Amino acid sequence: MTGRKIAAHCAERLIPCSLELGGKNPVILLDDADVARALDVLVDSTLASAGQMCVSFERLFIHDTIYDAVRDGLAKRYESLPMGVRCGAWDDEMSVLTSANQLAHVQRHIEDAVAKGARVITGGSARPDIAPYAFEPTLLENVTPDMAVYDGRVSGQWCHCTASTMSKTRSAAPTRACTD
């Protein structure tokens, strides 16, 4: 709502403006998707900078015929990632959150989702044994609109997946992905 007000105010005065509005960045995978390639892209695009970039994927709409393969493959990849913050340790693929406040923010959103019926496929916990603000890469399913993670800005290393029966030409998934 604030972005709309600012854009309208600028438009009235013909002032150019560019707004960083965040987003939920959906992914839609059809039944003919190359699952191995999709997994490579999903890991990189959900976890870069510990998921704290405005372009990180958070919502995955996956054709039901490949859903299990994508969900299980992504969980396996998340579980195998080295985490850490060691100086010069370029083999750490998963970084940590920026602050105690950000860690608490991510935890609240995940806990809210679980309390309202979301299922944690993998992750979902802080890892103080690794670093003060470390949080496991988290994959959720059964996320619904009443959960804060559904449309709230979380900015952490997590995403949720939804099975969807869809055709290549028409589906509810693109509409949900862009309007929910």
Known catalytic residues are 20, 54
- Of 100, 171, 177, the residue nearest 135 (C-alpha): 100
3-class DSSP state for residue 111? helix
- Of 148, 179, 131, 161, the residue nearest 58 (C-alpha): 161
Q: Which residues of 6-15 are buried (b: 16+ CB within 10 A; e: fewer)?
A: eeeeeeeeee
- DSSP single-letter state for residue 135: B
Residue for token pair 């290393």: 157
